[in-house]
A and B are shown apart, each in its own frame.
Chain A
């Protein structure tokens, strides 16, 4: 029997299992995995390590309290530790000698704090706090019943995790980090449109929305058809939900077809029409003379679009818009997506569903939604790149599904957006400036965890990007860590980048002056976020395979807290980096040898193709 127990504990070691008995042994190994790996490392930049307490601190971050708690790790069981709470983070350090566990959680990640157990609860570690996070995990702490320690911790956490309810500023406004690059300068709309070749004969830049009077959720600067006057725009705005009129997102450099985005038309039950809107769409179509029909992609399922008529919305009917054809893309709304992600969490946290993994994964429908979004974007991209027609994309308000579709299609069409800065510009343009309601969807600093406005739309977009990067390993300048870092700071509230719902609100709050941009952090340390396989290509359109056979669950994101997933560096990537280094070495040696051999030539002029001229040529291919 003794032998058998030996096997058992060793077996669990072998598999790094979750049997509570063996935890202590492997706690050392796991603690590394348990810390939010990417975040932990990035947060070190510009962090002051207070040596007396050994807790990382950002400039502007202040200590509030610390407490002895028992962290109930879902993988390793209870671990005694000391938790430090600042106005930015919750930091836990294990007090047990055989465990180096560290938790470093920005308070912005917290979605909900609950008390567990009452005065009468008996069981060990049954009295404490249960914290639900926005990044696919829960944290449980057991506290002593005596001395109000739980009440204190609950109140402090509530206060600093949900500053809005306590009239406190969001941490981003207190953050005094300095970076040598200013991320706020990354996106300049005029420059970006100029890069696209705008304005041109058919498209003009208008400042009609300079004071956000035409549409309060749109950016100040818009690109519209040259032939549409500002008065036309005002009239069209009355017929589009929240005045979000059709404006240009992207123009094809050669065939000049465009992607235009907007919200639904206000058709309503009675089937209202608006001559100006109809004319405006026709003007858009006519910017390309050879095109007979404008393609409209309504991102919603047909039924939902019809149902929207009841609330005054709807879609473009054939009768009213002769020169347009409408397709529905069947992408579901924010509520469906939220529930789907909840189901994903149910099957991956804390324990990964084992016996029915595949059918459980399918029943979350998460990958199916990813597939529909990608399929929609592929269709948009294909229309435009083939020059078949210009495309108008909308959903209901044009700030969720529309942003997903336009940005993904642009990523497929335009290799510029696949570079690190290009991607930042894409996010800044299609998501931030065009009013994806980050504040509502994420709930920054807001305590209403059950708010129906919350939804993982942006996460879904990043997931789609990840799926593409899996299928085209050389096409993107950035790596997986870049995407995960963006997602971590989507919640962290350390940067101003994702705060507020629209540009007008951000301007009012002077976000660019008072906060730091996430891109400052990333761009000042780009090497960490670079994909070694990246080969720059121009004009290559990426069509990912949007089949269930190719879509995968993003394990390194959704299951990253589980110690059973390996987070060791990707061997393929490692090998490639090795090879790159080797090649550089060879090229250098070659260069030296060439120099040596040409130096021995009596007359250097007989060697016109000297090595120094040739070498750059060799290098450009990599």
Chain B
């Protein structure tokens, strides 16, 4: 590639930022078309995808060399010291170019090849079928139907082609309403609660200004409330703080006037906008130790970043939504400004609280496909996939994942997936390795021909399902039909495994999940042994009746009997947590950019004796 001037630099040092003794690893740095690779003297490899790089900094020259600090979107921070300034400069320039592509076609997904043929690839894309999902929810039905109004993206470019609307809403009403809504994002169905016959609908803000009104829009809202046979009142949730919504009125936008709409109850829930969230994350990362370990006031720093307060705001909104449906049986219309950030958060999280299907591995993929990808959450802009406006970048989806993580902490048995699954998804919204999160809306994705030129992430995650299973999941427990989270202050904790996922010294020494996973595996092994023995006994019985006893059978209970094998295998497992993950970069284990290191962290997480250095690192932070 034209951007790469130096492909290999030797004698580079990698510093551990949580070690006070300035311990470092020496190794060789390689620059490939897609990755930065560091191989240390123990042959341990550190791979960094160019697309993961958020920031490269070249610091002032020191006696030992030229420091190069790379901050990644997955919260990895690496600190290299390159002996010669020229090399450092070359790498720095190359990384600047490589981490910020101008065109979609230059992203990794377009060159990534997991060695699958076209039909396999297509099958992968068909794994998640949203029409199927709406059918599962119970639509179309007597009150809701599929509308073809947006079939050609004529009414709203950022919506999907297939939209579900109240049966009694005619096309002119839809068209009229869409003209009264920001970016044409008129109210449509996001989730239908079959038992309650209540709906979650989503849209963008109305163009009401100070006094404007739109009869079609009012009719459409009425149609939504009429589509609920139990409760004629519906909630309109504006997820913004009231002040922001009012400010929008001056620009000819705003919020619904309760006097103009019949049977609505209007409610602000106060989630801040993308800019506030971006700077909040920035502050969080500063507290987090980007600035070294001098930060002694971790908690007050965490609080002043506001991050957990924002997480709680999103959670509170989702709880409000779920309660409106469960307790009052009311339909809810959710919007923010454009209806693709906060609205996606609240609708998806609300559905997750209500419907246990979304707490399965497959269901969670469906949820993301539906409320985030298809409804036009601007992934490429929010994740900064291309060299674009930095003001459009915001951790909205990360917040959603964190809310889900908080729920998994509070309800450890309610989710089929584990933390690693969430981290892996987070990894891939930035990796640009798969097509799912590229582009900002469905129309754009179709134009990019992503389904022909790239692969879908989901089948790869499903293939690796075993890694992402939560051993505590109890799918049948009625306790977890609807989740009712407790939002008391001390329940909101810093997500260490997300923001410190690459800082091994800061991880706990033992993982409870691994213990349980091992136990599960041992039990499976035992079960197999039982089956084995049972079949052998059966076999023998039949043979005995024939009066034949072969030597082979004698052998089967001899030294190599299953029990002995089992006991040996126990021994190994209790000593070493299972680590299936092998480092691969292109090929056999493709969806796995990060997990292997994660697993490795855990597998090495029980050292018999930790060196003093670790001890000191831990003492100082």
Q: Which of B242-250, B365-373, B528-536 contacts A (4 or more CB under 8 A)?
A: B528-536
Chain A residues with CB under 8 Å of B529's CB are: 586, 590
From B327, B489, B515, B609, name the one whose CB has the most chain A CB atoms within 10 angstroms.
B489
Asked whether A44 is an interface residue with its Cβ less than 8 Å from the other chain, the reply is: no
- With both chains docked as a complex, state the minimum distance between the C-beta of B251 and any C-beta of chain A, in angstroms: 31
Decide if the interface of chain A is mainly helix, strand, loop or mixed: helix
Asked whether B269 is an interface residue with its Cβ less than 8 Å from the other chain, the reply is: no
Q: How far is the CA of A396 from the CA of B571 in the complex (A)?
A: 48
Binary flags per residue of B515-539, CB closer than 8 Å to A gives 1, else 0: 1100110110011011001101100
Whether A474 contacts B515 by the Cβ 8 Å rule is yes
Decide if the interface of chain B is mainly helix, strand, loop or mixed: helix
Chain B residues with CB under 8 Å of A475's CB are: 510
Q: How far is the CA of A353 from the CA of B492 in the complex (A)?
A: 13
Q: How far is the CA of A566 from the CA of B512 in the complex (A)?
A: 20
Are A359 and B304 also in contact (CB < 8 A) when A586-B523, A602-B549 are?
Answer: yes
Whether A597 contacts B302 by the Cβ 8 Å rule is no
Whether B523 contacts A579 by the Cβ 8 Å rule is yes
Within 8 A of A (CB), among B488-504: 488-490, 492-494, 496, 500
Asked whether B106 is an interface residue with its Cβ less than 8 Å from the other chain, the reply is: no
Q: How far is the CA of A539 from the CA of B609 in the complex (A)?
A: 9
Contacts beyond the supplied A368-B296, A621-B574: 16 A-B pairs with Cβ under 8 Å: A6-B327, A7-B323, A353-B489, A359-B303, A359-B304, A471-B509, A533-B512, A543-B618, A550-B508, A553-B490, A559-B490, A590-B530, A606-B558, A609-B558, A614-B564, A618-B570
Are A572 and B412 also in contact (CB < 8 A) when A545-B508, A548-B298 are?
Answer: yes
- With both chains docked as a complex, state the minimum distance between the C-beta of A572 and any C-beta of chain B, in angstroms: 6
- Would you give 11 A-B contacts (Cβ < 8 Å), ordered by A? A362-B298, A362-B299, A382-B612, A471-B510, A545-B506, A549-B298, A555-B490, A564-B488, A566-B486, A586-B527, A600-B540
Are A548 and B299 also in contact (CB < 8 A) when A473-B510, A594-B561 are?
Answer: yes
- With both chains docked as a complex, state the minimum distance between the C-beta of A383 and any C-beta of chain B, in angstroms: 9
Whether B413 contacts A472 by the Cβ 8 Å rule is no
Q: How far is the CA of A587 from the CA of B554 in the complex (A)?
A: 22
Within 8 A of B (CB), among A361-410: 361-363, 367-368, 375, 378-379, 382, 385-386
Chain A residues with CB under 8 Å of B527's CB are: 586
B residues within 8 Å of A by Cβ?
233, 296-300, 302-304, 308, 319, 323-324, 327-328, 412-413, 471-472, 484, 486-490, 492-494, 496, 500, 505-506, 508-510, 512, 515-516, 519-520, 522-523, 526-527, 529-530, 533-534, 536-537, 540, 544, 549, 554, 556-559, 561-564, 566-567, 570-571, 574, 608-610, 612, 614-615, 618-619, 621
Q: How far is the CA of A602 from the CA of B547 in the complex (A)?
A: 12
Chain B residues with CB under 8 Å of A535's CB are: 574
Asked whether A53 is an interface residue with its Cβ less than 8 Å from the other chain, the reply is: no
Whether B557 contacts A601 by the Cβ 8 Å rule is yes
Whether A597 contacts B549 by the Cβ 8 Å rule is no
Are A382 and B563 also in contact (CB < 8 A) when A358-B308, A473-B512, A618-B570 are?
Answer: no
Are A358 and B299 also in contact (CB < 8 A) when A471-B509, A472-B510 are?
Answer: yes
Q: How far is the CA of A433 from the CA of B535 in the complex (A)?
A: 62
Whether A609 contacts B559 by the Cβ 8 Å rule is yes
Whether A583 contacts B574 by the Cβ 8 Å rule is no
Whether B299 contacts A359 by the Cβ 8 Å rule is yes
Whether A576 contacts B540 by the Cβ 8 Å rule is no
Are A6 and B328 also in contact (CB < 8 A) when A543-B615, A597-B540 are?
Answer: yes
**Minimum CB distance partner of A354 in chain B:** B489
Whether A594 contacts B618 by the Cβ 8 Å rule is no
Are A547 and B621 also in contact (CB < 8 A) when A473-B510, A572-B516, A593-B537 are?
Answer: yes
Whether B612 contacts A547 by the Cβ 8 Å rule is no
Whether A362 contacts B489 by the Cβ 8 Å rule is no
Q: 10 tightest A-B contacts by CB?
A: A357-B489, A362-B299, A358-B303, A586-B526, A548-B298, A593-B533, A359-B300, A358-B299, A547-B621, A375-B619
Whether A597 contacts B526 by the Cβ 8 Å rule is no
Asked whether A15 is an interface residue with its Cβ less than 8 Å from the other chain, the reply is: yes
